[in-house]
C-alpha cells in the first residue's frame, strides 16, 4: 500500500518544487492526518474525503481498525473506497446510508481564516460536498501550504455535465471566467466518478465573496457543483513541515 501511495504522490510533484520540499509537505500532511484519527470513536459512521492528505488518514484509520476500533465508513471516491477496503476498514454503500454521518475528514486545496475553502483538486468535489452536508461534523486536514487569505490563488474546480459542455464553457467565458477543461493523464478529458467533466476556473484575482461566487456559477445550466465550500467546517487541523500540528 505504501509503495502504491508514494508512487501516486510523486506523479504530482509540481515542477517548481524539489523532491526534498515535497517530502517535507508529505510530513506535514501525514501529521495532520494522524492527528485527525484521535477524533474517531467506536461505533461511528465516518465520512472519508479524497486526496493525498486523506490517503494518510485512511492508512492510520485502517491501523486502528485492525487494532480493534469498530467503525463503518462511507467514501467520496473510488480511490478512497479501494484504499479503505485494502486497509480493512468496513465500508457502507452510499445508497444504503439513511442516517447522518457522525464525522467526516477531508482535505482542501485552499482554506482561509473563515474556513471557506476551494476543493476539487482531486476531482471529487461533488461527492465531498454532498457527504459533508450529510455529516454532523467536518474536520479538514491540510498542510501549511493550503492556508491562504483570501481564496483565489488555486484554480476553482467546477463539475459540469458532459452534455453540451462546450456550450457551458462558452457561457462561463461570456461571463468573464477563464475556464479550462481538465485533462487526464492521456490528455483526454478527466471524468469524475459521477461521469461528468471538470472545468478549472483561473481567477487571477481574490475571491472576496465565496458564497456569491458559488451562487452565480451554480445558476449556469450545465454546472453541477462548484468547489467553493463555506459555513461547513467545524475544525481545521494544520500539519507543519517539522511534524507539528495546530488546530483552529
Ligand atoms: C479532492 C479534494 C482534496 O481534498 C483536495 O484536492 C486536497 O488534496 P490533497 O490532500 O491531495 O492536497 O478536494 O477533490
| pLDDT one-digit tens code per residue, 43-98 | 999 999 999 999 999 999 999 999 999 999 999 999 999 999 999 999 999 999 99
Would the CB of 79 count as within 6 Å of ligand 1? Answer: no
Mean pLDDT over each residue of the chain, to the nearest integer: 94
Would the CB of 237 count as within 6 Å of ligand 1? Answer: no
Would the CB of 121 count as within 6 Å of ligand 1? Answer: yes
- Measured from the CA of 49, which atom of ligand 1 is nearest? 4
pLDDT at 19: 76
Please provide the DSSP assignment of the chain as one string: -HHHHHHHHHTT--TTS-HHHHHHHHHHHHHHHHHHHTT--TT-EEEE--SHHHHHHHHHHHHHHHTT---EEEESSHHHHHHHHHTT--B--GGG--SPBSEEEE--SEE-TT--EE--TTS-HHHHHHHHHTBS-EEEEEEGGGB-SSB-SS-EEEEE-STTHHHHHHHHHHTT-EEEE-B-TTSSBP--TTS-EEEEEE-SS-BS-HHHHHHHHHTSTTEEEESEE-S--SEEEEE-TTS-EEE-
Bridge partners of 91?
73
Q: Measured in angstroms, how far is the CA atom of residue 110 from the centroid of ligand 1?
A: 9
pLDDT at 184: 95
- Measured from the CA of 50, which atom of ligand 1 is nearest? 1
Look at residue 4 and tell me whether its pLDDT is greater than 70.
no
| 109 or 20, higher pLDDT | 109
- Binned at pLDDT 50, 70 and 90, residue 12 comes out as low
Would the CB of 123 count as within 6 Å of ligand 1? Answer: yes
Can you tell me the mean pLDDT for 178-182?
97
- Measured from the CA of 123, which atom of ligand 1 is nearest? 14
Q: Which of 110, 128, 213, 225 is catalytic?
A: 128
Percent of the chain with pLDDT over 90: 90
Would the CB of 49 count as within 6 Å of ligand 1? Answer: yes
Percent of the chain with pLDDT over 70: 94
Look at residue 6 and tell me whether its pLDDT is greater than 60.
no
pLDDT in tens, 105-130: 999 999 999 999 999 999 999 999 99
- Measured from the CA of 54, which atom of ligand 1 is nearest? 10
pLDDT at 18: 79
- Binned at pLDDT 50, 70 and 90, residue 240 comes out as very high
pLDDT at 11: 53
Instruction: Give the residue, out of 5, 119, 191, 237, with the most ligand 1 atoms within 8 A of its beta carbon, to mutate for a pocket test.
Output: 119
pLDDT at 185: 87
| 7 or 168, higher pLDDT | 168
pLDDT at 3: 38
Can you tell me the mean pLDDT for 4-27?
68
Look at residue 213 and tell me whether its pLDDT is greater than 90.
yes
Please indicate whether residue 59 is annotated as part of the active site.
Answer: no
Instruction: Give the residue, out of 11, 52, 122, 200, with the most ligand 1 atoms within 8 A of its beta carbon, to mutate for a pocket test.
Output: 122
Instruction: Give the residue, out of 81, 109, 131, with the most ligand 1 atoms within 8 A of its beta carbon, to mutate for a pocket test.
Output: 109
Look at residue 20 and tell me whether its pLDDT is greater than 90.
no
Please state which of the ranges 17-21, 50-54, 134-138, 242-246 shows the lowest mean pLDDT. 17-21
Amino acid at each position: 500500500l505504501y509503495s502504491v501511495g508514494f508512487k501516486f504522490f510523486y506523479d504530482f510533484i509540481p515542477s517548481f518544487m524539489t523532491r526534498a520540499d515535497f517530502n517535507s509537505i508529505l510530513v506535514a500532511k501525514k501529521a495532520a492526518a494522524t492527528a485527525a484519527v484521535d477524533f474517531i470513536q467506536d461505533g461511528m459512521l465516518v465520512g472519508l474525503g479524497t486526496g493525498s492528505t486523506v490517503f494518510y488518514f485512511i492508512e492510520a484509520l485502517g491501523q486502528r481498525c485492525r487494532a480493534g476500533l469498530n467503525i463503518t465508513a462511507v467514501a467520496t471516491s473510488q480511490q478512497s473506497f479501494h484504499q479503505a477496503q485494502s486497509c480493512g476498514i468496513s465500508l457502507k454503500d452510499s445508497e444504503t446510508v439513511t442516517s447522518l454521518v457522525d464525522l467526516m475528514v477531508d482535505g482542501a486545496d485552499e482554506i482561509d481564516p473563515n474556513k471557506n475553502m476551494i476543493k476539487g483538486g482531486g476531482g471529487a468535489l461533488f461527492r465531498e460536498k454532498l457527504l459533508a452536508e450529510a455529516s454532523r461534523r467536518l474536520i479538514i486536514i491540510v498542510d501549511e501550504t493550503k492556508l491562504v487569505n483570501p481564496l483565489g490563488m488555486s484554480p476553482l474546480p467546477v463539475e459540469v455535465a458532459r452534455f453540451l459542455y462546450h456550450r457551458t464553457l462558452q457561457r462561463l467565458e461570456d461571463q468573464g471566467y477563464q475556464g479550462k477543461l481538465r485533462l487526464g493523464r492521456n490528455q483526454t478529458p478527466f471524468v469524475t466518478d459521477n461521469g461528468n467533466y471538470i472545468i478549472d476556473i483561473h481567477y487571477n484575482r481574490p475571491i472576496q465573496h465565496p458564497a456569491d461566487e458559488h451562487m452565480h456559477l451554480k445558476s449556469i445550466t450545465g454546472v453541477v457543483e462548484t468547489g467553493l465550500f463555506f459555513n461547513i467546517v467545524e475544525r481545521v487541523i494544520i500539519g507543519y513541515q517539522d511534524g507539528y500540528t495546530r488546530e483552529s
